[in-house]
Structure 1
Amino acid sequence: MQDGLSAFVARTVLIEAATVSLDLQYYIYEDDSAGRILMSLLLKAADRGVRVRLLVDDLGTRVVNPLVLTLDEHPLIEIRIFNPVEGRSGLRRALEQAANLGRINHRMHNKLLVADGLVMITGGRNIADGYFSRSDVEFLDVDVMALGGVLPDAEQIFDDYWNNPVSVPVTELSLDNLEDQSLDDLRRKVKAFLEDEAKSEFTDALRQSQMAGEILAGAIPFQWGRGTLFADPPEKALHRDRIPVEKFPGYQLEKVIRNSSANLRISAAYFIPGNIGTTLFTGLQQRGVNVDILTNSLSSNDVAIVHGAYARYRKKLLRKGVDLWELRKASGEKRRKRWFQGESRATLHAKTFVVDDSLGFVGSINLDSRSLLQNTEIGLLMENESINQELSAFFEDWVAGDSAWHLSLNAQGKIRWRARDGDGKALVETKDPETTVWQRWLSWILSWLPVESQI
């Protein structure tokens, strides 16, 4: 699922069609239109007898709304928080994060929805308006819906996280439910909210989508093949050094990549290959594998320090023949960098891998040390030529001349960025395109900080 509104529709249909259980695991679950619509549908599902379990990461989601406690009072709804900070806001939270950095630094970046133990959705999208709607910015992402033999693995992975001590019931957090609202009060609010949202972009998408009917009618054209679900064990958040590296999805994915023989196409919102990754990709290229990599440009990246770290490896990759593309900034988009944290959203959020002619991978894994070493991640490896071709078509669309800059080295070894405008006219830039002197200077300064293992 490449289109954001279709990805939203798929989630709503699975929630509305569930009869037994719904398990959701997300890094970010925003209290916005998309989040509230889905939460309203989860409440309605619980009212008809469906068991609902929601696990969110505390740093990504920041549960502060006391209405969550009311929701958790439902006998069939339970909400847990992964690796929480005791303080909910303000100075106390900041101090605790600083004092417990070794623990707090490990976040749950997973994205997973499992309905009735029969169907799952995983990929790059969190639950928030920006991941499903294109009204604000072209937000490129991919999810995959799966069923069959991989579902028991998905259920087991969720249970492992849910039952781990690092996942804390929301009732144990310091939330003061001063509004003293009952579930019936909440139901009335939900009803009024859904009525207000009747003409929203999300509700229109659900009403007009063919996918909704196709899912319910069993008419979705699934592509059958071997599927393997990669996921970090939840213990990575507390005892990373005790876990064999073979259990990390990044290690498992690296083995797949090393075995590629013809083509490797990667899209990664954050790409910091380090010396090991640079050696891997240049070695594959020299072995005859065509290595193509798409990531964010400085203008489309929402975290300056990440781009600064990535930029150190561009020339090494280009010298050995690796093809690099950087996504162009959306037209008219205004961006302002902050020192260590993104204020605007990255244009590219997808994490996809296309390996040779039959393998495709969709998940939450970026190619940086934070994904590989610090956070927990998840993703699905699929052995199917049709899915491989579809992911490859996405990649080709994203790296088209009017969408991305193609990097190369000139005779003097300096980077040149090439693209085309809307009329097909060639564009050539000699420095990071669509950026200011301040942005380039900031990215360069931050690239010297010895924090690559943390970003």
Structure 2
Amino acid sequence: MEVQKALAQHRPEASGFYLLQDGLSAFAARAALIEAASVSLDLQYYIFEDDTVGRILLSLLLNAADRGVRIRLLVDDLGTRVVNPVVLTLDEHPLIDIRVFNPVLGRSGIRRTLEQALNFGRINHRMHNKLFVTDGLLLITGGRNIADGYFSRADVEFLDVDVMALGQVLPQAAQIFDDYWNNPVSVPVTELSLESADDRNLDELRGEIKRFLEQEAKTEFTEALRESRLAGEIIAGAIPFQWGWGTLFADPPEKALHRERIPVEAFPGYKLEKIIRNSRANLRISAAYFIPGKVGTKLFSNLQGAGVNVDILTNSLSSNDVAIVHGAYARYRKQLLKLGVDIWELRKAPGEKRHKHWFQGKSSATLHAKTFVIDDGLGFVGSINLDSRSILQNTEIGLLMESEAINRELSALFDDWVAGDSAWYLSLTEHGQIRWRARDDEGRVLLETRDPETTIWQRWLCWLLSWLPVESQI
């Protein structure tokens, strides 16, 4: 990789940023970085699925280790469920180490369920971070986990965004990963009681992987990867990075065991709130899960009162994958609309004409991105949702970028997501009822007076769940 050439053109205290806006580019970037790595690869993910995308990346990681690259993979136990015997076989490689964050001792069945109930206080804290670091020179962070849906290869597509970065933020990333890796809450996979009758060795696994990649080479998705210019641009050092200053926010790993001992000032959500409070003109937020609570509602009220335009994009009831979260959010919709906050909710199948999917058939969509556009100079991409779980329970990560160019790109992406054929715009009627407005693919106006594209049962269940006193846990 010609990373040093790009770095040499800028001051050492600066960072370069490049948004990975679509699933294909996000996958191509990861695959290219793995194939180009020469020293080390550090990966930290909440979800690392045993599906097509996961298997392709694992195969590339094994190939990298075979040519001498050190691999460290840290996954969350509840998000990833490390039960696949392939994991143990991979860990036998002298250059591959796999650890599991805050594991449940029971790997499956009733034992696992009982332990989750008996140790809820500990197990409730999950590692929601997404971080990818190659050779200590480039990082990727953002909202995407490792699974087909995050890379436009599933029946449900997650609208998301990552940022690739180099320069001054890399030492921060290396320190954050090491802090998590070396913490006692991260347990080597060999210390877990994985029950397996699998007796494959590494050579047999290499043969299986080779056959899998040969089959995968014939698919539409892989063909699209070959045609992607991004992979070649990464190798050639030709990525058009936007330069500025960056700060990588991350919860300390100790949050999973001793949250009460950590000052709130150390939490990324708290730091982000302070920055938001200093907005002067515009604040644009995309959040998969948005439960502002009393504190957030007051914050947005104060900003609107100070003349700041507040725009929010979140999931609709039809696109939300967690009904109880939508029920909690729905309690605040009318109040926010009365304050003058502009709210959009993602449509279940947005912008079919404007988005290319790399699998057969049409997809439904759910918003998974967590982005902030703050005035004209700040942008934020990370794993932090605006809910109590992100702020108080899980560990999170995100990159704050001081760059007008990135700010404009994130704002343009927000505009794309809230376009009339992609999202419902909410407003209040003269009688104080919510009205949803959008456009179909032919540009015709669509109006609804109840949660669009939902059944009576879905709406009733959402209303019922909204009364549960569990807001601090979701």
TM-score range, shorter-chain basis?
A: over 0.9
**Distance in structure 2 (CA, Å) of the matches to 1:49 and 1:125:** 27
Aligned match of 1:272 in 291, 294, 299?
A: 291
Cα displacement (A) at 1:133? 1.5
Matched, 1:173 2:192: yes
Structure 2 letter corresponding to 1:119: L
Moved more, 109-118 or 126-135: 126-135
Question: For the residues of structure 2 that align with 1:143 and 1:408, how far apart are their CA atoms?
Answer: 30
1:70 Cα offset (Å): 1.0
Query: Aligned match of 1:352 in 371, 374, 393?
Result: 371
CA deviation vs aligned residue, 1:293-344 (integer Å, no higher than 9, x gap) = 00000011011100000000011111110001001111799xxxxxxxxxx9
> Where do 1:119-134 residues align within 5 Å?
119-134=138-153
Unaligned runs of 5+ in 1: 334-343
Q: 1:71 maps to what in 2?
A: 90
Out of 68, 75, 79, the position equivalent to 1:56 is 75
Name whichever of 40-49 and 323-332 sits farther off: 323-332
Q: What residue number does 2:457 align with? A: 438
Of stretches 170-179 and 360-369 in structure 1, the one that deviates more from structure 2 is 170-179
Equivalent AA in structure 2 for residue 96 of structure 1? E
| Whole-Å separation in 2 of the counterparts to 1:198 and 1:430 | 47
TM-score of the superposed pair, with normalisation by structure 2 = 0.92
1:356-395 alignment to 2 at 5 Å?
A: 356-395=375-414
Instruction: Give, in angstroms, the shift of residue 177 of structure 1.
Output: 3.5
Pairwise mapping of residues 21-100 of structure 1 onto structure 2 (< 5 A)?
A: 21-100=40-119
The answer to whether the 8 A contact 1:327-1:348 is kept is: yes
Are residues 1:237 and 2:256 paired?
Answer: yes
> Secondary structure of 2:437's partner?
strand
* C-alpha deviation, 1:66, in angstroms: 1.4
Q: Which moved more, 1:61-70 or 1:153-162?
A: 61-70
- Is 1:287 paired with 2:306? yes
Contact conserved, 2:349 with 2:365, CA < 8 A, in 1? no
**Residue from 420, 424, 429 that aligns with 2:448:** 429
TM-score for the superposition, normalised by structure 1:
0.96
User: Counterpart amino acid of 1:363?
Assistant: G
Q: Is the 8 A contact 1:27 1:57 kept in 2?
A: yes
Residue 107 in structure 1 maps to residue 126 in structure 2:
yes
Equivalent residues, number = 445
Question: Residue 352 of structure 1 aligns to a residue in which SS?
Answer: strand
Contact residue 350 and residue 422 of structure 2 kept, 8 A? no
Query: What are the ranges of 5 or more consecutive residues in structure 2 without an aligned counterpart?
Result: 1-19, 353-362
Q: Report the Cα distance in structure 1 between the residues aligned to 2:156 and 2:204, rounded to whole angstroms.
A: 36
Secondary structure of the residue aligned to 1:19 is: coil
Quick check: 1:248 aligned with 2:248? Answer: no
Contact 2:264 2:270 in 1 (8 A): yes
Between the aligned partners of 2:351 and 2:168, the Cα distance in structure 1 is: 46
SS at match of 2:419: coil
Matches of 1:331 and 1:363 in 2, distance apart? Answer: 23
Residue identity matched to 1:278: T
- After superposition, the C-alpha distances for 1:386-438 in whole angstroms (9 at most, x for unaligned) are 11001000100111111111111111111111111222222211111111111
For 1:291-330, list aligned pairs within 5 A: 291-330=310-349
Return closer, same or farther for 1:161/1:201 CA change in 2, 3 Å cut-off. Answer: farther
Aligned AA for 2:391? L
Distance 1:160 1:210, change over 3 A: same
**2:247 touches 2:401 (CA, 8 Å); kept in 1?**
yes
From 126, 149, 154, give the equivalent of 2:173: 154
Q: CA deviation at 1:346?
A: 5.9
1:222 aligns with 2:249: no
Shift of 1:137: 3.7
CA RMSD of aligned residues (A): 1.4
Alignment counterpart, residue 213 of structure 1, candidates 228, 232, 249: 232
